[in-house]
A and B are shown apart, each in its own frame.
Chain A
Amino acid sequence: MHDWQSWTALAIVVLTIVAFIFRAKRRAKKEARGCGDCGSGKFS
């Protein structure tokens, strides 16, 4: 009955991992990204 839930949860986890890898790659290119929390210090 709740099998679909397990699969969906697992899919979300896998998607999250992929998103983290993607994010890390994208961020590695940017030199200065400022504070993640408050956005302070973003500059060119």
Chain B
Amino acid sequence: MEKTLETVALAGNPNAGKTTLFNALCGTAEKVGNYSGVTVSVKKGEFYTPHGRKLSLIDLPGCYSLSGGSPDQEIAANILLGKDSKHERPDLVVCVLDSSNLERHVQLALEIIELKIPVIVVLNMVDMAEKSGLRLDPLKLSEELGVPVVPIQANRGKGLTELKQAMRHPFPSPPAPRWEAGNAEARRTFGLAVTELTARRPTLHSSNFSDRLDVILLHPVFGWVCFIGIMFALFWSIFSFAGIPMGWIESLQDFLIGKVEGKMNEGDLRDLLTQGVIGGVGAVVIFLPQILLLFFFIGLLESSGYMARAAFLMDGFMAKVGLSGKAFLPLLSSYACAIPGVMATRTIDSAKERLVTIFVAPWMSCSARLPVYLLLVPMLLGGSEGGSKQALVFLSIYVLGTLTAFIVARILRGRLGPDEIKSHFLLELPPYRLPQWSYIFRHVIDRGWAFLKNAGTLILGIMILLWAATTYPKLESDDPAEVLAHTVVGRVSHFIEPIVRPLGFDGRTGTAILTSFAAREVFVGSMAQLFQVEVSDDEQETRDHIRDSLAAEKWPDGRPMFGPAAVISLLIFYIYALQCLPTSAVVAREAGSWRWAVGQFVFMTIFAAVASLLVYQIARLFNLA
């Protein structure tokens, strides 16, 4: 069925707007951003021409030339050259060029024309180019290149009809190159001559808004102040601003529990619904607003153009740990989710640097850890949520993960040895742009929906099983402790306790940690269930219930179970443990070996356990337990 559709490929330099055009044509919400290397894998979609013909559209990662380079660029080059085993060579290539950078971007178009495939050239972001005073002549360009040229504004959907018209059958026949094909020098000279004719620049260089902003944001001192300020604002707002929508979710949860308890008599099903489903799943869903905020802020950073500046600033620091500033882009993305972070390492030229970045990326705390941190951080300092002290602890958690990642990267990079071919730092600093709000909101909603879907399937399932494990086998007794000890969880806890006790946890916490290997945030739901939190319909917040009941828990000798030492130990475990099977699967594929993924999993789990053990035992020495 797939073969019957003709394939159109979107090719072009990085950050030319290919994915924005792809989204505009196919109505999708694939990830876009204002920096080079957002798309690192092939995206597929379908669209209709004005004549009603269905075409298959593939969005290629950006590349500067067809001679390869980093892995993402090689993917694009191989497909265009027909060397890719998974993808057929496209029937038509739409070359997306940034109108403001024609001199540079037209070179790839010339290379593609040499391949003798039908080509349409698209001049994207013509509005920006014209605003900067550039005078474009698409007709002349079309004449010179011998291919149709369509000016568009993909982010506003302008020029799409003209583009679709240009794709009508039969596709434009490949032109004969007007330069000596295969000769890079001749091609370059032709490209420069053509752009001189078709894109006139007003002056050599006039300082614009981005230049003026960069004077501050890339300043050796103020740049760092701004960078730290931005990161602090990001985490502080996640920590502080989400209170109101979280309150709504809590009210809904309380309302549901009230309804169930009002309608049903006491019994297993009622317990399952209130404790397992509403209590357990609800304890996780409550953190949805913060996860949405995190994706929103990272989306803002990605689409504003600041990511490249952050990479530039970090380069000096990254060099000290044997990585380059470019490696910081995937790491920053990993704060949202490690999977796109690991995939984004495809933009790194050096294979060894890439492996090291993949290895440490999961230590950038991802969104799934947020619920765990948000439950535990207020327990550490006492009192309710909010406050700058708690926000500072919250930020330190992220800093700790990041710094440890850098230290391990340094050691690992040293062991892997130097590169055969030295790679250099070379990065485009795109002009600052206003975010594409519609995309950002759609992206955030998509992520939120995925989170809810996961809560409604995987987490719900685990909560039901966990409820079963805390209920069966049943024992007729009046002593709740005795009843629990008889159940599966009771037995598992009993077995686990000697192992996790030196880390400061009892068997139930150990069991909650075990369940969180399915998904980190399950920990919160599991703790809610295992410590028998009474989720009632009174005014008190559910999370406070969890915290209150955890704070009230005591060891048999009367010491509080969740003193500062135990909470820090738990936090340390969650900062370092790799509890995400999908990440391991992606690491295995990207690193090209399961051994790398298994090694990473084992290393991180042992590291987390040992770090927790040390922290707890040292804290005990200082009487913090």
* Chain A residues with a Cβ under 8 A of chain B: 1-2, 4-6, 8-10, 12-13, 16-17, 19-20, 23, 31-41, 43-44
Tell me the bound Cα distance from A37 to B580 in angstroms: 10
Residues facing A in B442-464 (CB within 8 A) are 446-447, 449-451, 453-454, 457-458, 461, 464
Tell me the bound Cα distance from A17 to B583 in angstroms: 24
- Tell me if B93 counts as interface (CB < 8 A to partner A): no
Q: By the criterion CB–CB under 8 Å, are B586 and A32 in contact?
A: yes
Q: By the criterion CB–CB under 8 Å, are B340 and A13 in contact?
A: no
Q: By the criterion CB–CB under 8 Å, are A38 and B367 in contact?
A: yes
Q: By the criterion CB–CB under 8 Å, are A43 and B268 in contact?
A: no
Q: A36-B458, A43-B41 are in contact. Are A13 and B464 (CB under 8 A)?
A: yes
Q: By the criterion CB–CB under 8 Å, are A40 and B337 in contact?
A: yes
Tell me the bound Cα distance from A35 to B530 in angstroms: 26
B440 smallest CB distance to A (angstroms): 15
A39 smallest CB distance to B (angstroms): 3
Q: By the criterion CB–CB under 8 Å, are A5 and B339 in contact?
A: no
Query: Looking at the complex, which one of B264, B337, B464, B465 makes contact with A38 (CB distance below 8 Å)?
Result: B337
User: Could you list 13 A-B pairs, sorted by A, with CB under 8 Å?
Assistant: A1-B265, A2-B267, A6-B269, A31-B589, A33-B582, A35-B450, A35-B583, A36-B450, A37-B291, A37-B519, A37-B521, A38-B367, A41-B343
Query: Looking at the complex, which one of A8, A32, A39 makes contact with B269 (CB distance below 8 Å)?
Result: A8
Q: By the criterion CB–CB under 8 Å, are A38 and B586 in contact?
A: no
- 1/0 per residue, CB under 8 A from A, across B306-349: the answer is 00000000000000000000000000000011111011000000
Q: By the criterion CB–CB under 8 Å, are A5 and B447 in contact?
A: no
Query: Looking at the complex, which one of A12, A33, A40 makes contact with B464 (CB distance below 8 Å)?
Result: A12
- Tell me if B486 counts as interface (CB < 8 A to partner A): no
- Tell me if B185 counts as interface (CB < 8 A to partner A): no
- Tell me if B43 counts as interface (CB < 8 A to partner A): yes
- A16: which B residues are within 8 A, CB to CB? 461, 464-465, 468
- 1/0 per residue, CB under 8 A from A, across B458-488: the answer is 1001001101100100000000000000000
Tell me the bound Cα distance from A3 to B546 in angstroms: 30
- Tell me if B295 counts as interface (CB < 8 A to partner A): yes
Tell me the bound Cα distance from A28 to B586 in angstroms: 14
Residues facing A in B2-54 (CB within 8 A) are 41-44
- B519: which A residues are within 8 A, CB to CB? 36-37
Task: List 5 additional contacts besides A37-B519, A38-B450; criterion CB under 8 Å.
Answer: A1-B265, A36-B458, A38-B451, A40-B447, A41-B337
Tell me the bound Cα distance from A37 to B42 in angstroms: 22
- Tell me if B266 counts as interface (CB < 8 A to partner A): yes
Tell me the bound Cα distance from A17 to B269 in angstroms: 17
- Tell me if B571 counts as interface (CB < 8 A to partner A): no
Tell me the bound Cα distance from A23 to B446 in angstroms: 22
Q: By the criterion CB–CB under 8 Å, are A34 and B582 in contact?
A: yes
Q: A2-B267, A13-B465, A32-B585 are in contact. Are A43 and B368 (CB under 8 A)?
A: no
A16 smallest CB distance to B (angstroms): 5
- B589: which A residues are within 8 A, CB to CB? 31-32
- Tell me if B270 counts as interface (CB < 8 A to partner A): yes
Q: In the complex, which residue of chain B has the Cβ closest to the Cβ of A13?
A: B468
Query: Looking at the complex, which one of A2, A10, A40 makes contact with B336 (CB distance below 8 Å)?
Result: A40
- A17: which B residues are within 8 A, CB to CB? 465
* Chain B residues with a Cβ under 8 A of chain A: 41-44, 264-272, 291, 295, 336-340, 342-343, 367-368, 446-447, 449-451, 453-454, 457-458, 461, 464-465, 467-468, 471, 519, 521, 580, 582-583, 585-586, 589
- B582: which A residues are within 8 A, CB to CB? 33-36, 41
Q: By the criterion CB–CB under 8 Å, are A6 and B268 in contact?
A: yes
Q: In the complex, which residue of chain B has the Cβ closest to the Cβ of A10?
A: B268
Q: By the criterion CB–CB under 8 Å, are B267 and A38 in contact?
A: no
Tell me the bound Cα distance from A12 to B464 in angstroms: 8
- B454: which A residues are within 8 A, CB to CB? 36-37
Tell me the bound Cα distance from A16 to B265 in angstroms: 23
Tell me the bound Cα distance from A20 to B461 in angstroms: 8
B348 smallest CB distance to A (angstroms): 17
- A38: which B residues are within 8 A, CB to CB? 291, 295, 336-337, 367, 447, 450-451
- A5: which B residues are within 8 A, CB to CB? 264-265, 267-270
Closest 3 CB pairs of A and B: A39-B450, A5-B267, A2-B267
Q: By the criterion CB–CB under 8 Å, are A41 and B265 in contact?
A: no
- B43: which A residues are within 8 A, CB to CB? 43-44
Q: In the complex, which residue of chain B has the Cβ closest to the Cβ of A11?
A: B269
Q: By the criterion CB–CB under 8 Å, are B465 and A35 in contact?
A: no
Tell me the bound Cα distance from A3 to B585 in angstroms: 44
Q: A2-B267, A36-B454, A40-B340 are in contact. Are A9 and B367 (CB under 8 A)?
A: no
Q: In the complex, which residue of chain B has the Cβ closest to the Cβ of A9?
A: B268
Q: In the complex, which residue of chain B has the Cβ closest to the Cβ of A33?
A: B582
A13 smallest CB distance to B (angstroms): 4
- B521: which A residues are within 8 A, CB to CB? 37
- B342: which A residues are within 8 A, CB to CB? 41
Tell me the bound Cα distance from A20 to B43 in angstroms: 30
Tell me the bound Cα distance from A39 to B295 in angstroms: 12
Q: In the complex, which residue of chain A has the Cβ closest to the Cβ of B520?
A: A37
Query: Looking at the complex, which one of B268, B339, B465 makes contact with A2 (CB distance below 8 Å)?
Result: B268
- B450: which A residues are within 8 A, CB to CB? 35-40
- A20: which B residues are within 8 A, CB to CB? 461, 465
A28 smallest CB distance to B (angstroms): 11
Tell me the bound Cα distance from A36 to B368 in angstroms: 10
B289 smallest CB distance to A (angstroms): 14
Q: By the criterion CB–CB under 8 Å, are B272 and A12 in contact?
A: yes
Q: In the complex, which residue of chain B has the Cβ closest to the Cβ of A36?
A: B454
A30 smallest CB distance to B (angstroms): 10
- B44: which A residues are within 8 A, CB to CB? 44
A33 smallest CB distance to B (angstroms): 6
Query: Looking at the complex, which one of A8, A10, A19, A41 makes contact with B461 (CB distance below 8 Å)?
Result: A19
Tell me the bound Cα distance from A5 to B260 in angstroms: 13
Tell me the bound Cα distance from A19 to B297 in angstroms: 36
Q: By the criterion CB–CB under 8 Å, are A2 and B266 in contact?
A: yes
A26 smallest CB distance to B (angstroms): 12
Q: A5-B268, A16-B465, A32-B585 are in contact. Are A39 and B446 (CB under 8 A)?
A: yes
